[in-house]
Amino acid sequence: SAVISQKPSRDICQRGTSLTIQCQVDSQVTMMFWYRQQPGQSLTLIATANQGSEATYESGFVIDKFPISRPNLTFSTLTVSNMSPEDSSIYLCSVGGPGGASPHTDTQYFGPGTRLTVL
Amino acid sequence: LAKTTQPISMDSYEGQEVNITCSHNNIATNDYITWYQQFPSQGPRFIIQGYKTKVTNEVASLFIPADRKSSTLSLPRVSLSDTAVYYCLVGHMEYGNKLVFGAGTILRVKS
């Protein structure tokens, strides 16, 4: 299994500002994922952070709003830019790893999340 | 990725067995069924994964009928600490595949 830490654990920000969330993994992984979980809702994938190439964004999410860096195989950052109250959510990163039902399947390990409140 | 349907919420009492059923009528031949658990203020945690028949681990059992159009997560003798949201996901589950989370089932365990 992978151990994932995120910084900050929570923050309160003013609208129009930006916040960078860090995700650190205790082992090297090829792909990392960033999710958003709005209050009382399920998780929505924002993007896949690929090491050595640009992130792949899901429909409805754009690089200008959520720039992602992936400088190495154990670290990634997600920036929430020009924030508005609608960006108030929990942001989670995850990585794939072994533990699935077969050698060909994997599970995902999630960080504890960053709770962001935008005023 | 196959669409899944789960009950929105369930209530149970401590010591009871809880069964949460997930429907996935459009499951593909090489899709696996995976369940995640999410406690408040934490990220989801993998519980169990299966392809067919029955899978059991130290946390839960997963029952999958022959047609694989549904699955049932069984939690034996739940405790208050099992209060969480349970997500059923269906997909290839190969390394690097993204996960698509549905609404999940809120399980409330009462004393």
Q: What is the pLDDT of residues B90-109, one digit of tens each?
A: 987 776 677 888 899 999 99
The domain at B9-110 falls in which architecture? Sandwich (2.60)
Q: What is the pLDDT of residue B85?
A: 97
**Residue length of chain A:** 119
Per residue in A47-86, pLDDT tens? 999 888 889 999 999 999 999 999 999 999 999 999 999 9
Interface residue of B5, B45, B46 to substitute, partner A, most A CBs within 10 Å: B46
pLDDT band at A107 (very low <50, low <70, confident <90, very high): confident
B3 close to A (CB below 8 A): no
B104 close to A (CB below 8 A): yes
Mean pLDDT of A33-53: 92
Which residues, including other chains, have CB under 8 Å from residue B66's CB and lie 6 or more apart? B52
Percent of chain B, pLDDT > 70? 95
DSSP chain B: ----B--SEEEEETT--EEEEEE-TT--TT-EEEEEEE-TTS--EEEEEESSEEEE-SS-EEEE-TT-SEEEEEESS--GGG-EEEEEEEE---TTPPP-----EEEEEE-
pLDDT band at B21 (very low <50, low <70, confident <90, very high): very high
Instruction: Report whether pLDDT(A105) > 80.
Output: no
Domain ranges in chain B? 9-110
Instruction: Say if the Cβ atoms of B43 and A94 lie within 8 Å.
Output: yes
Separation of alpha carbons B50 and B70, rounded Å: 12
**Which CATH number is correct for A4-98+108-118, 2.40.70.10, 3.30.420.10, 2.60.40.10, 3.30.930.10?**
2.60.40.10
A105 close to B (CB below 8 A): yes
| Residues of chain A with C-beta less than 8 angstroms from the C-beta of B61 | none
Domain ranges in chain A? 4-98+108-118
Instruction: Report whether pLDDT(A100) > 90.
Output: no
Per residue in B71-86, pLDDT tens? 999 999 999 999 999 9
Separation of alpha carbons A105 and B4, rounded Å: 19
